[in-house]
Copies of this chain bind each other. A is one copy, B any other.
Amino acid sequence: MSKRVYQLILDLPEMIEKAIHLTQSALKGKQGLWQRFQPQNLIISGMGGSGIGGEILKDLANKYSPVPVIPSHDYTIPNLTGKRSLFLAVSYSGNTEETISAYRQAKERKALICVITSGGELKKMAEAEDDLLILIPPGLPPRQALGFLLTPLLVLSSQKKLLPFTISVIRKSAIKLKGWLTECSKIAQSLAKSFYQKIPYILAGSSLYTACAYRWKCQLNENSKTLAFFNTLPEENHNEIEGIGRPKFMRNFLSIVVLFDPTAEERIKLRIRLLPTLLRGQFFSFQEVAPLGANDLERILSLLLIGDLTSYYLGRKYKKDIEKIERIEQLKALLGELTSGKKEL
């Protein structure tokens, strides 16, 4: 099922366009309160591939939003959740136990709730409770439904004026993204080569790209089946830099990639230029990846695309079934059996 993942990665632009439409339709059915409500904070609950959208929104919000955007990946919710919170429960399957638990708690706290899912328990609960329900197509591996899971967050943030990206800007990004597929593929193939039989070390070239670096790491974990590091500049320079290539047996095993942010502080760009010399002899390779695009949203989307493609090409090199995530599925099955009483520890 590796080919399907490849096709889904390339479908990112179409997913974004479809998800804009789905979100707008869902909002049309919810006038009144949903139009008036100005959230004091945004809480985005979700795990793994369903949770990464919240992290991406957090990075953008850090730069642009007047209110806090707080991603949460847990059974519990941030204590500040309340009546003036907009709570987004994101679970592709609709059956993620952490997100269901978080949803229930947010409901008790009387937060305004939006559910983004393809079905499952969360769909049922959202319908019963008359929450804003953004129903996305089922049957995909959650991590490759990113376009469907992230776009509603962008559209809602746009509507609430938390981000400067209008619907038409989001749509335009998707259209541009289509034109970049070939270039992104080329970059990704070359990166995959440098990651093969090494440990990828992804360094966000600014706080704006922290979630991108995290997404790369997670996709390398799940699609390529490899360990990977991620960190953010300038914070990395204050501690992890001392661990690079250490202990000695790791000396030739780190393949470092910096996600270069053209809008970053000049001092950060200077740091990036100094790093290869400072760390000479401690890594296998050191590369910068420059995103495509004319604004932060476009650049982030291009990085997500390159990261996904890289994880695909690397998985192919390792001859892995890219779609299959055996351990994650096995753990879920075990947890399920223990709940239903079919098994005991």
Contact = CB atoms under 8 A, between A and B. Distances in A.
A75 interface: yes
Contacts of A234: 47, 73-75, 98
A242 interface: yes
A244 B227 contact: yes
A327 interface: yes
A186 interface: no
This chain: how many copies in the complex?
Answer: 2
A325 interface: yes
A221 B239 contact: yes
Interface in A300-345: 318, 325-328, 330-331, 334-335, 338, 345
A183 interface: no
B48 A235 contact: yes
A228 B243 contact: yes
B75 A265 contact: yes
Interface stretch (A21-29, A127-135, A148-156, A245-253): A245-253
Contacts of A250: 199, 227
A218 B242 CA distance: 9
Nearest to A74: B207
Given A62-B78, A207-B76, A51 B331 contact: no
Interface string A200-227: 0000001100000000011011100111
A49 B72 CA distance: 25
Contact of A207 (B66, B73, B254, B318): B73
Interface in A247-298: 247, 249-250, 253-254, 265, 267-268, 270-271, 273-274, 278-279
A166 interface: no
A182 interface: no
A232 interface: yes
A239 to B, nearest CB: 4
A8 B344 CA distance: 47
Nearest to A63: B79
A325 B278 CA distance: 13
Contacts of A34: none
A41 B69 CA distance: 12
A33 interface: no
A175 interface: no
B197 A249 contact: yes
A99 to B, nearest CB: 11
A278 B331 contact: yes
Residue from A61, A76, A279 whose CB has the most chain B CB atoms within 10 Å: A76
Contacts of A62: 72, 78-79
Given A239-B218, A246-B225, A79 B66 contact: yes
Interface string A174-201: 0000000000000000000000010100
Given A235-B51, A243-B227, A271 B331 contact: yes
Contacts of A247: 197, 225-227, 318
12 contacts: A49-B238, A64-B79, A68-B78, A221-B239, A225-B242, A227-B243, A227-B244, A228-B243, A238-B328, A242-B325, A242-B327, A244-B327
A-B complex: 6 closest residue pairs judged by Cβ atoms: A48-B238, A221-B243, A218-B239, A73-B235, A227-B243, A68-B68
